[in-house]
Chains A and B, each alone.
Chain A
Amino acid sequence: EIVLTQSPDFRSVTPKEKVTITCRASQSIGRSLHWYQQKPDQSPKLLIKDASQSFSGVPSRFSGSGSGTDFTLTIDSLEPEDAATYYCHQSGNLPETFGQGTKVEIK
């Protein structure tokens, strides 16, 4: 089973700050890495698919990059509504797995 390790576990940031979250896979998964945003008591929402493709309707301040074992989610100019937990998810190897999550709090 592929282990996805996200860092950091927690970020407290001010609005308009740039946030970078990394996701490292225990073995290569190509570009089969996706990012989700989950707010309290809500279902996760897809932000980025296949490492760098923005999902329909997602604000342009969200972007993804990476391949192989190292991936990054970047939020340019954080908005207050971006307070949430962010998860990476790999589908390159079965069973699919998720990272442990990164909680982003607004100061």
Chain B
Amino acid sequence: QVQLQESGPGLVKPSQTLSLTCTVSGGSISSAGYYWSWIRQHPGKGLEWIGYIYYSGSTYYKPSLRSRLTMSVDTSKNQFSLKLSSVTAADTAVYYCAREGASGWCQSWGQGTLVTVSS
């Protein structure tokens, strides 16, 4: 049973960079056919898909966030990471990491971590 756990600061100042890491346990991040995704949920709102990374390092980012977004993967640590630069209050959200199967369904999710952007 694959488990995911997000970690990172819960408070980020405006204009700074939000950095989160997702640690995968119970399975290898290098397993073929799985994509490692980030999804966020603004307080009281719906889900927003941010992007994904494959273990090879290939990525796809949501176009509206592309200029501020960087994802990376560390197969030696079984982790993948998200960096979102120049944050504003609009980036305040619960951030989830998830494992996507080959056809895109998210079968495993982290518990989510709330990141608040505030001075």
Contact = CB atoms under 8 A, between A and B. Distances in A.
**A and B co-occur in one complex:** yes
A62 interface: no
Interface string A82-107: 00000101111011111111000000
Given A44-B109, A95-B62, A32 B103 contact: yes
A34 interface: yes
Contacts of B63: 1, 95
B60 A46 contact: no
Interface in A3-61: 32, 34, 36, 38, 43-46, 49-50, 55
Q: Output the residue of B46, B48, B60, B63 with the most chain A CB within 10 A.
A: B46
A34 B47 CA distance: 13
24 contacts: A1-B63, A32-B103, A34-B105, A34-B106, A43-B112, A44-B106, A44-B109, A45-B109, A46-B107, A49-B101, A50-B103, A50-B105, A55-B105, A55-B107, A87-B46, A87-B47, A89-B47, A89-B104, A89-B105, A91-B104, A95-B60, A95-B62, A98-B49, A101-B47
